[in-house]
Chain A
Amino acid sequence: MDLILQHLVNALALSAVYALVAIGISLFFGVIGIVNLAHGDIATLGVFASLAVFQFLLAGGAMDITALSAPAAMATLAALAAGLVVAALSGVVFYRVAFFPLRAAPPIIGLLCSVGVGFIIRESILNFYPNGRNPQPFPAIIPPDLIEIGGVIIQYKHIFVIGTAVIVMFALAYCVERTRFGRAMRSILNNREVAQSLGVSTFKVTVALFALGSALAGLAGLMNALYYNLVQSDMGTLLTVKGFTAAVIGGLGNIYGALLGAVLVGLIEAVTAGFIPDGSAYKDVAVFGVLIAILIARPNGLLGRLSAERV
């Protein structure tokens, strides 16, 4: 029982990270019809921006980042904010430079273009970031303490990752359901042409969405970095694949579906790794096996809209 709960906690932490990536992928697909395979790499870019700020501020070795002091808090905030801003900006830039010119081209071209963008980001970090070829330690700003509840060990970083994700999800849900921006966004998801004819500026909303989605990806990257305290240039690939899977399981274009998909992916991974002997080697196989099974049963994902073709 304890073991099950323990795995559940680990799974939820994974799910939280995947969910933040999946939401961006799902939303981008909803508004521009392109699967963005560079999404995880944008997260990586944010993480490395954050790391750069940390390394700059901690260069003298005078500051203890884990201490509960005002300068340490400021430094942490500055670094994390830098990560989010860089991710958001790069998302917007890539939309404008790579996806916007391709809006009339078939979706597969956009997908391939995003693969090219992913290459550029990964290789740029590899080549231009100091010591970018090797995995780098990320400051452990979360104390390594843990609490034990009925035999289940919960680390502070578990609480941090899950907590942040939950708060962000609620904020996002509010934003989507209640604000003007959310309405505009939903109208575009529903029907781009109709939204346009009703006076919604699809370009502005799409740009805003790319900023938001990419910032969420950046946040996911940061949480991943804080969780493992290790970052490397190709960490984004895994985030993309898992986020994409979660988004598809839930149904592309559906935020809540992405959330559900992420929880499922996290659970399947944790269960395979935890309960099947030698399972961790097969956890990706299990995830994709379930994915394929779900797609056969529900070809448009769990919460996906059924699209009927007009005859």
Chain B
Amino acid sequence: MLRAGLVMLSILAGFALLALFLRKAEGMVLAAIVAGIFTIVALPASRNAAWRGLAILQAHPRAAVAACAIGAVLLPIFLHNDGYWIHVLSIAMIFAIMAIGLNVHLGEIGLVNLGYAGLFAVGAYASTLLSQAGAPFWLATLFAMTVCWTTGGLLGFFSVRTSGDYFALVTLGFGLIVQQLIINLTWLTQGNNGITNIPAVSMLGHTSKMPIDLGIVRLVPETNFFYLCLVALCGSLVLARHYQKVWIGRMWTALRQDAIGVSCFGLDVPRFKILTVAFGSMFAGLAGSLFAHEIGFISPDDFTLLHSVEVLASVILGGIGNLFGVTVGAIILSVAPEKLRFLGDYRLLMYGAMLVVLLIYRPLGLLPDPRRRFESF
């Protein structure tokens, strides 16, 4: 009981520190923190200590999850109601939802998808178009998820026919085709100009443009989307975890290692693969819908190959297959460029260098899935 309390306290303290870090850490402080983290990762003794800490967390999963939930809910207050950072974290959570979806492709059945941003775009545009036609947000989101599920099913069809790096290229092509179509089908998508004035989300008379008035504090309007994204992220985590825990997750693992073996035990492999890719793509619909309504403006520039790679990098850096790791990876990678702004023009250069260094020293990600040590993937 005491330990559980300590776990909760330390997690809450972690959230407060995170907020402090986001708001205050600049320049050299940040560099020092990054160097510190690298040292911790590099030194075996400190790494073991970190693992022990994580083990304690895992021993009290309920306390840890509860504390994470409370911490996340309180985060806007920890952030001193700073609209900018609340917005950045909302986007980070949207990326985390995408990473969870991509993890279904890459982590669960080992398909390299270089066109996830294409699915994200399909979701964003589908939701936007329906929303502009007057549909409520939830309906537009559901529609976007359905469209992405279907598109993903089509992609899944290719995964049945092609293998490995060839599927990677098909998805790369898919991403580029989607972008070209968005640019060229101007009657539908406004082309390069993008779609502006995407309606705000409203619920029971409260719209996402209004501040949240709690009496004691008045939370900035950005908080609306923060909580919406938080709910969506938690929902995505629960959904992905739920599917992992039943026969579907078991078959994912078995299929990833040996497609022929599972087919001899009655699994219709092509059908299952198509459904899996469709399932993973559905998250892109949710993320796309949230993104479009959060920013209020979408254009082809939001859905480039770079974005696909960023999602892929989140999954790999976080630790393929580990939902928690994948979420953390996505949040780090979308917050990092914001914190690297002090580097000015050298920001993306450092991003690339960090990616290379991290991959060379921790090729299996920051929080690898321990059950994969017998796998090549």
Question: Is A248 an interface residue when CB atoms closer than 8 A count as contact?
Answer: yes
Determine the residue in chain B with the shortest Cβ distance to A237.
B305
Indicate if the CB atoms of A295 and B172 lie closer than 8 Å: no
Interface string of A87-126 (1 = CB under 8 A from B): 0000000000010011001111101110111111011101
Indicate if the CB atoms of B349 and A119 lie closer than 8 Å: yes
Q: Contacting chain B: which of A134-142, A147-155, A200-208, A279-287? A: A279-287
Question: Is B251 an interface residue when CB atoms closer than 8 A count as contact?
Answer: no
Question: Is B84 an interface residue when CB atoms closer than 8 A count as contact?
Answer: no
| Interfacial chain B residues near A111, Cβ < 8 Å | 112, 168
| Interfacial chain A residues near B180, Cβ < 8 Å | 281-282, 284-285
Indicate if the CB atoms of A311 and B260 lie closer than 8 Å: yes
Q: Which residues of B contact A (CB under 8 A)?
A: 106, 112, 158, 161-166, 168-170, 172-174, 176-177, 180-181, 183-184, 260, 305, 309, 312-313, 316, 345-346, 348-349, 351-356, 359-360, 363-364, 376-377
If the complex has contacts A284-B180, A311-B260, are A113 and B359 also in contact, measured as CB distance less than 8 A? Answer: yes
Indicate if the CB atoms of A112 and B172 lie closer than 8 Å: no
Question: Is A29 an interface residue when CB atoms closer than 8 A count as contact?
Answer: yes
Indicate if the CB atoms of B106 and A113 lie closer than 8 Å: no
Question: What's the Cα separation between A81 and B288 when bound, in Å?
Answer: 48
Question: What's the Cα separation between A54 and B211 when bound, in Å?
Answer: 59
If the complex has contacts A119-B351, A127-B349, are A288 and B176 also in contact, measured as CB distance less than 8 A? Answer: yes
If the complex has contacts A289-B177, A295-B158, are A301 and B166 also in contact, measured as CB distance less than 8 A? Answer: yes
Give 22 A-B contacts (CB < 8 Å), ordered by A residue. A35-B165, A102-B359, A106-B363, A106-B376, A112-B309, A112-B355, A113-B360, A123-B346, A126-B345, A127-B345, A244-B172, A252-B166, A282-B184, A284-B176, A284-B177, A287-B173, A288-B176, A289-B177, A295-B161, A295-B170, A299-B161, A299-B162
Indicate if the CB atoms of A105 and B184 lie closer than 8 Å: no
Question: Is A241 an interface residue when CB atoms closer than 8 A count as contact?
Answer: yes
Determine the residue in chain A with the shortest Cβ distance to B316.
A112
Determine the residue in chain A with the shortest Cβ distance to B352.
A119
Question: Is A229 an interface residue when CB atoms closer than 8 A count as contact?
Answer: no
| Interfacial chain A residues near B161, Cβ < 8 Å | 295-296, 299
Nearest-Cβ distance from residue A179 to partner chain B, whole angstroms: 28
Question: What's the Cα separation between A287 and B180 when bound, in Å?
Answer: 12
Indicate if the CB atoms of A109 and B165 lie closer than 8 Å: no
Question: Is A291 an interface residue when CB atoms closer than 8 A count as contact?
Answer: yes
Indicate if the CB atoms of A29 and B165 lie closer than 8 Å: yes
Determine the residue in chain B with the shortest Cβ distance to A287.
B173
Question: What's the Cα separation between A113 and B363 when bound, in Å?
Answer: 9
| Interfacial chain B residues near A120, Cβ < 8 Å | 349, 352-353, 356
| Interfacial chain A residues near B305, Cβ < 8 Å | 237
Most buried by A among B180, B184, B312, B352: B352
| Interfacial chain B residues near A126, Cβ < 8 Å | 345
Indicate if the CB atoms of B352 and A123 lie closer than 8 Å: yes
Question: What's the Cα separation between A281 and B192 when bound, in Å?
Answer: 13
| Interfacial chain B residues near A115, Cβ < 8 Å | 309, 313, 352, 355
| Interfacial chain B residues near A252, Cβ < 8 Å | 165-166
| In-complex Cβ contact of A117 among B174, B181, B346, B356 (8 A) | B356
19 more A-B contacts (CB under 8 A) besides A292-B158, A301-B166?
Answer: A105-B364, A106-B363, A108-B112, A108-B316, A112-B313, A112-B316, A113-B360, A116-B354, A116-B355, A120-B349, A237-B305, A241-B172, A241-B176, A244-B169, A245-B173, A252-B166, A295-B166, A300-B166, A311-B260
Question: What's the Cα separation between A88 and B41 when bound, in Å?
Answer: 34
If the complex has contacts A111-B112, A112-B355, A282-B184, are A288 and B173 also in contact, measured as CB distance less than 8 A? Answer: yes
Interface pairs A-B: 9 shortest CB-CB: A119-B352, A288-B173, A116-B355, A123-B349, A105-B363, A116-B356, A120-B352, A113-B359, A116-B352
If the complex has contacts A244-B169, A281-B183, A282-B184, are A102 and B360 also in contact, measured as CB distance less than 8 A? Answer: yes
Question: Is A145 an interface residue when CB atoms closer than 8 A count as contact?
Answer: no
Indicate if the CB atoms of A98 and B184 lie closer than 8 Å: no
Determine the residue in chain A with the shortest Cβ distance to B260.
A311
| Interfacial chain A residues near B346, Cβ < 8 Å | 123, 127
Indicate if the CB atoms of B348 and A119 lie closer than 8 Å: yes
Indicate if the CB atoms of B173 and A112 lie closer than 8 Å: no
Determine the residue in chain B with the shortest Cβ distance to A281.
B184
Determine the residue in chain B with the shortest Cβ distance to A114.
B356
Question: What's the Cα separation between A295 and B360 when bound, in Å?
Answer: 32
Determine the residue in chain B with the shortest Cβ distance to A133.
B345
Indicate if the CB atoms of A113 and B349 lie closer than 8 Å: no
Nearest-Cβ distance from residue A96 to partner chain B, whole angstroms: 12
| Interfacial chain B residues near A109, Cβ < 8 Å | 316, 359, 363
| Interfacial chain B residues near A113, Cβ < 8 Å | 355-356, 359-360
| Interfacial chain B residues near A123, Cβ < 8 Å | 346, 348-349, 352
